[in-house]
Amino acid sequence: MNDTYRGQILTAESTTCSAILKDLEPKELCNELLASACATALGLPIPTTYLAVVRDNNLPAKKGPKTVDGLPLVLASADVSTPSLIFRLKAVNPGQILGLLKELIAWADLGKLYAFDTWIANIDRHAGNLIFGGKDAIWLIDHGHSFTGPKWTAGNLDPSTDYINRLSEWLTVHMSEDEKANHAGIAAALCQDISALDIAAMLADSGVEPYLTEADRKALNTFLEKRKSETPAKSAKALNYLV
């Protein structure tokens, strides 16, 4: 779907970092940056994310915004050198798939992921969008389909809508009732942290403001603020845990 590369970047601290580089349309790039800022603020595991400038035509970047000097901007996320869950699922025998999923279900922070994806309306958390090296080596990746999708408009952002949480399709179905209850409790606890976030500051810190219209910035702010109160019940629904 997107032009994706592996390479190295020079950070603002003058260190080099191996990274996954993506040439993205502006709205999808902003989705990635804002979702990363939100995840980081909540202490969720996500590779360090950068807005990278392409110099000297080192990358055939064409889709994203440009600097005032006309240089292309791309998304860069630190390469954690660990395979995705879908890669691991395809590598095992069919009889081992459930055991691998149960390893993920045993992850102590899984409930937080349900709450996070619900809050930011991430509609594409499939098994390829989790880096999985065991329950102590998990990272969240690929958030271009957050905030209802990569081409959202202000009219799409309805805080009360039950946007699909794809974890409910391929992971919830393998949980016991006790596991659902446990993760629902953890999701509810993260919602307290979400409720305390300063969304205007998050938007500013994420670096997305220059690449969104004022109307879109206001719509995102309103959506994330109002969706805070919707997230506990909607997370529990994704876990099929209704009290």
Does the residue 40 lie in any domain?
A: yes
Mean pLDDT value across residues 102-119 = 97
Number of domains, the chain: 2
Supply 90's token pair: 């395809």
pLDDT in tens, 30-62: 999 999 999 999 999 999 999 999 998 889 999
Kindly tell me the sign of the dihedral angle through the C-alpha atoms of 182, 106, 147, 18.
positive
Mean pLDDT value across residues 140-151 = 97
47 and 142 share a domain?
no
Number of H helices, E strands in the chain: 9, 6
pLDDT in tens, 71-96: 999 999 999 999 999 999 999 999 99
The single-letter code of the amino acid at 128 is: G
pLDDT for 57: 85
Does the residue 243 lie in any domain?
A: no
> By residue range, what is the domain housing residue 121?
85-238
Of 39, 55, 78, at which residue does a domain stop? Answer: 78
Q: Is the pTM of this model over 0.85?
A: yes
